[in-house]
Amino acid sequence: MDRIRIVGGRELAGTIPISGAKNAALPLMIASLMTSETLTLENVPHLADVEQLTRILGNHGVDYSVNGKRDHQNGNGGGYSRTINFTARDIVDTVAPYELVSKMRASFWVIGPLLARMGVARVSLPGGCAIGTRPVDLFIDGLQALGADIDVDNGYVVAKAHNRLKGNRYVFPKVSVGATHVLMMAASLARGETVLENAACEPEVVNLAECLNAMGAKIHGAGTPTITIDGVDQLSGASIRVIPDRIETGTYAMAVAMTGGDVLLQGAQPDLLQTALDVISQTGAEITPTNEGIRVKRNGAGISPVDVTTEPFPGFPTDLQAQFMGLMTKAKGKSHITETIFENRFMHVQELARLGARIHLSGQTAIVEGVSKLKGAPVMATDLRASVSLVIAGLAAEGETTVNRIYHLDRGFERLEDKLSGCGAVIERISG
């Protein structure tokens, strides 16, 4: 099994191209199920989750073709930028089997497009990262509000819509990005108007709405808590660009804040993660938007402790919580990190402690007492974001750190070792 070896203590300097957002690419890919015409997605990242979802969509009858390999023309520093064409001319199977869905939670979202287009779907209950139960109740309740008949049978959600879904008003009892994606897609082909209240406002939701509108949907208010969808009879093909990955942007910004140095995050959009950038600035890093992206600089001064609480967008993202904890392990003082989105997202604490971090858990809050130095050690990734927090800590630790079980990293970070080593980090992948 592959692992990553890091020798810490190097400042980062140079340019890191920001890839397309995984969390935007996945729902956009799933939207291809909603039309018999071709959906073209630009700036698709090369990630394990993207490849897995491509296989799942293929099981339903979606054909795909890839344009472009390394792209030296678009100013991304030779990054791996791909355009992928998805065509679901005929849905050959409305069943999403356990052996596929269990490998990636987002694949459960096919239930919305399949139900809207075909009137029936049988989708296995999902798997994914072990960061809490993350139940699918909101998905089921929302689809039932649109007129779907739903049963759970032997671990599968069986959904039927007789004579199309019907528009309705639905109030999310809690903000859910995934359920907002699914209901927005399903309502696009429903009869009549649907109003979604307390909807997720994340940029990835806006990206999907832009895609669906380009396909002929009538969606208004995406990016606000109230989204209105006027259902249409059918959708057409379209072309849309995947937004830059705000989580990757925040991760590398924190890496620079941790190690010191001066890095341009090329192609990053500040408005996608302004709260996180403000927090990173409070730690002592200098954040400067430029025409090319975001420049992050820290001159070697100490890291200031900052308290954060994870919140839905536009608040501090839960997907940056682990990385920020890694940064706070070397802050000059005590910080409090409160997790409100997922109930089991502190599994990285024990591994950070192996590097010398001092962290105490109190319910949903981690109290991090900064130390003057971390020391390299073998550590193990427990989920996608936790794994990269260990990389951030390892970049600043004395000696050698080995991160094991890095298949988690490959799910969400494109060419991480190449991007960091290109800025002076001593980091390599070791196979086997």
The strands making up 400-404's β-sheet, listed across from edge to edge, are 378-380, 400-404, 3-7, 426-430
Residues 6 or more apart in contact with residue 154 via CB below 8 angstroms: none
205 is in an annotated binding site: no
138 is in an annotated binding site: yes
22 is in an annotated binding site: yes
Q: Distance (Å, rounded) from C-alpha 75 to C-alpha 143?
A: 43
**Half-sphere exposure (Cβ direction) of 100: Cα atoms closer than 13 Å:** 20
Give the phi and the psi of residue 249 in degrees, each rounded to 5.
Answer: -60, -50
- Written as one letter, the residue type at 420 is L
From 129, 201, 211, 423, the catalytic residue: 129
23 is in an annotated binding site: yes
273 is in an annotated binding site: no
174 is in an annotated binding site: yes
Whether residue 313 contacts residue 223, with contact meaning beta carbons closer than 8 Å, is answered with no
134 is in an annotated binding site: yes
341 is in an annotated binding site: yes
105 is in an annotated binding site: yes
Residues 6 or more apart in contact with residue 266 via CB below 8 angstroms: 15, 16, 17, 18, 75, 76, 77, 292, 293
334 is in an annotated binding site: no
36 is in an annotated binding site: no
Tallying the residues shown for the chain, one arrives at 432
* Strand pairing report for 378-380 and 400-404: parallel
Q: Is 129 a catalytic residue?
A: yes
206 is in an annotated binding site: no
Annotated binding site, which residues? Answer: 22-23, 105, 134-138, 174-177, 319, 341
Residues that constitute the known binding site for UDP-N-acetyl-alpha-D-glucosamine: 105, 134-138, 174-177, 319, 341
Report, as residue numbers or ranges, the catalytic residues.
129
Query: What residues are designated binding site for phosphoenolpyruvate?
Result: 22-23
